[in-house]
Structure 1
Amino acid sequence: MPRSPLALAALATAAVPGLDARSVRPEELPGDYDVAVVTADDGVDWLVRAPRTTMAGAALEAETELLDALHLYVDAGVLPFTVPQVAGFALLPEGGRAVVHRHVTGAALDLEALRPGPGLAADLGRTLAAVHELPASVVESCGLPSYTAAEYRERRLVELDEAAATGKVPPTLLRRWEAALEDVALWRFQPVVVHGDLATEQMLVTGGRVTAISGWSDARVADPADDLAWLLVAAPPDSVDSIMEAYQLRRTELHDARLVDRALLVGELALARWLLHGVRRGLPDVVADAEAMLADLDEATREDAPA
């Protein structure tokens, strides 16, 4: 049963000595967590997360360890942004711990506001490159997943097979995806540390630059295209070159000629994953939404195909 905001506020006060809660509001974040923002009597906002399942609890523990490691790179100036810093824990009756940290500040990234040139678009490219330059050991030492390029391609193939089995993916789209996944040259990449679940609300902006990134529970060593896909698909087309140019300049020894092609493909495959989410969870609204987007993509790619 979900915990109420008041119950989460009580956990926050137990986790952080001296925290005197003045108000609390629920917060929506990805994952199986109960989440709230607690405002203390000194005006500071604190985020409290309590896992709903054993699996979510294990993921939260791994993320907490990762955040500690990332802070070393923030303090050293290697990462040009901040990440949440855990301030305390509260034991849960059923086992596991709630985690509390200061609520990171900044405005959610507005993709529509991106413009070409040396501003925020370029900063996004440099920011992602800085993450991808981190040593793999940062993630691996926390027990988070690490994949080779071949293993990751195989995971994509398995997902596509599962999506195909639903009968809800347009056949022409399915054939195009299958051909891309069979193109071994497309999947020659060096795995890197990736955030794994980037979205506008997790990239916080202040003064025209990225100042904080939250939501690290899906971090892993995998395909850099995962972190670029959503940007290349959703950002204004005229800002994409600025993002990628800054990204490539910040990366060292980047030999991935098909990175953009693969990122665009990964962006499309996200629709298949959304479909599977709806099917697995028995969510007809999600399934219908995914089917509509797949149909739109199928029509758009048919129109773009050479005659």
Structure 2
Amino acid sequence: MVAILDEDNHVTGSVPRSVMRRDNLRHSATGVVVRNPAGDIYVHRRTPIKDVYPSHYDFSAGGVVAAGEDPFHAVVRELEEELGIAGVELTRLPEGDYADDNTRYHAYLYTCVWDGPVRHQPEEVEWGAWMSPAELVAKMDDPSWPFMPDAVGLLGEFVRSLATIGQGWDSDAWIEGPWIHRSPRRPAVRPRLLAEATLLPWLAPQLPLPVPVPELTDNGVRHLMLPGSPFTDGGTAIGRALGEFLKALHAVDPVEAVARGALDAATADAEKATFLEDCRAQIVPLLPAEAQPRALELLDRVAHVRTSLIHCDFGPEHILVSDGEITGIIDWTDAVIGDPALDLCWPLNGAPAAVRGGVLEIYQPTPDQVERAADWARLSPWYGVHRGLLLDLPDDVANGLRDILHRL
């Protein structure tokens, strides 16, 4: 017998499973993404006798919640029945809803780490293997690998977020169970990375959107994984949420933020002065003579405004989204007392128009902040040219110079 739900997830009765399938009645179901300590995900193929999606591939273990059954008990039961996994710690993921012509249900979703043997239930699973997140994403995008559409719909973004973790300019990142670990790639980054473990636990309760809450490890920091994938598209609601977030961030006490690990204004000014001097000495001479005065004026305008705690690298790659809602703001290594217009740079100059409109509606920046945000957008390609000169990357320098001239 299966419990039947209304659209508010209230139980309205129970029917045999066969009736639930025949009439595609809304019910509860479970799903668990199983990973090993190396971060691989267990993928299996369903048997041809399954009542929905026979012979499809799946990357979650789960099934229907029985009438009167506690959903968490169903999660534990299905995981053991389907893959022979028991006694494992389960990490909860956001619940979800799925509906198509074959099934309609409310999903209780989890992930776990398992380093033991996997034992298939013969009636349900005919093949299985471990895949890296990147390999699984490639299979999901391959039409010759038919995956369960509900698994892709409910957990596909979570899997794709796992595949994006790797080596960055400042730090290396890897997954261990439900944790994301980060270690500095350069000595200069280490103090800033470790400062996140004091700044973010203090900051998180003051913000309207989730942020990582790191803790120290032997070689860096770790934090529980936030669900979602980097922002690619959105509307006014996303913009409003970002406006509320930035408004709250820029209103926190900057003195207390420095005491908790944010880079102070004087140190940040000294570091920025070095970069700006490099720009004046190394990049401006590479520009046509008629553009050089405008370039120097830009460098002067962005030099000295430092009033608020800012994220300092606020762009789509650090905004996680799932099902049209923001699920986290990540990568706080560069948090500093700086110009709030820098955090407004992408929302006002690179985001979709609807997102920009939502940010403007809620944040209500001053005209001066709007213009400074445009200045930060004009400065953006200078960083690429600076890096190209430092690492002897002539193509990066040439492309960046063209972009500088276009933005000036």
Q: Is the shorter-chain TM-score for this pair beyond 0.5, marking a shared fold?
A: yes
CA contact (8 A) 1:8 1:35 kept: no
How does the TM-score come out when normalised to structure 1? 0.70
Between the aligned partners of 1:8 and 1:58, the Cα distance in structure 2 is 27
Out of 352, 357, 360, the position equivalent to 1:241 is 357
In the TM superposition, what are the counterparts of 1:154-173 in structure 2 within 5 Å? 155=273, 157-158=276-277, 160-165=279-284, 167-173=285-291
Equivalence map 1:245-264=2 (5 Å) = 245-248=361-364, 256-264=366-374
Matched, 1:86 2:86: no
Higher strand share: 2
Normalised to the residue count of structure 2, the TM-score between the two structures is 0.54
Cα distance between partner residues in 2 of 1:171 and 1:52: 38
What is the aligned length? 256
**SS across alignment from 2:332:** coil
Name the structure 2 match of 1:179: 297
Question: Residue 258 of structure 1 aligns to a residue in which SS?
Answer: helix
1:205 to 304, 312, 321: 321
Cα distance in 2 for partners of 1:294, 1:182 equals 16
User: Letter of the aligned partner of 1:104 in structure 2?
Assistant: L
- Report SS of the residue matched to 1:235: coil
Q: CA deviation at 1:163?
A: 4.6
Q: Which runs of 5+ in 2 are unaligned?
A: 1-35, 40-88, 91-111, 116-129, 134-162
CA deviation after TM superposition for structure 1 residue 81, in Å? 1.1
Q: Structure 1 257/293 Cα, relative in aligned 2: closer, same or farther at 3 Å?
A: closer
**CA-to-aligned-CA distance 1:233-258 (integer Å, 9 cap, x gap):** 2123454333122112xxxxx7x441
1:33 aligns with 2:177: no
Correspondence 1:132-151 to 2 at 5 A: 132-147=250-265, 151=269
CA offsets 1:160-205 (integer angstroms, 9 cap, x no match): 414535x33344443223334556xx98856111001122121112
1:21 and 1:162 mapped to 2: Cα distance?
55
- Percent sequence identity is 25
Query: Residues 102-135 of structure 1, C-alpha deviation per residue, up to 9 Å, x if partnerless?
Result: 111123212xx343x4x11222211111111111
Distance in 2, Cα, partners of 1:229 & 1:138: 25
Gap change, CA 1:57 and 1:257, over 3 Å in 2: same
Distance 1:153 1:37 in 2: 32
Check conservation: 1:66, 1:138, Cα contact below 8 A: no
Give the aligned partner of residue 65 of structure 1.
Answer: 198
Contact 2:200–2:211 (CA<8 Å) still a contact in 1? yes
Q: Which has the higher helix share?
A: 1
Is 2:234–2:355's contact at 8 Å kept on the other side of the alignment? yes
**d(CA) in 1 for partners of 2:185 and 2:306?**
35
1:260-302 deviation digits (Å, cap 9, x = unpaired) = 011001111111122111112223332233123224335xxxx
Residue identity opposite 1:235 in structure 2 = A
Output the amino acid matched with 1:37: I
Mapped to 1, the partners of 2:246 and 2:167 lie a distance apart of 21
Deviates more, 1:236-245 or 1:128-137: 236-245
Q: Secondary structure at the match of 1:56?
A: helix
Structure 1 stretches lacking a partner, 5+ long? 1-5, 10-16, 92-96, 249-253, 299-307
The answer to which structure, 1 or 2, has the higher relative contact order (CA under 8 A, 6+ apart) is 1
* CA spacing shift, 1:288–1:202, aligned 2, 3 Å: same
Which range moved further: 234-243 or 24-33?
24-33
Match of 2:308 in 1: 192
The answer to whether the 8 A contact 1:163-1:272 is kept is no
What is the Cα-based RMSD across aligned positions, in Å? 3.4
Q: 1:157 to 1:187 in 2, by over 3 A?
A: closer
Is contact 1:88-1:101 (8 Å) kept? no
**Comparing 123-132 and 211-220, the one that deviates more:** 123-132
**Alignment CA distance shift 1:292-1:154 (3 Å):** closer
**Greater Rg by CA:** 2
Residue 33 of structure 1 deviates from its aligned partner by 1.9
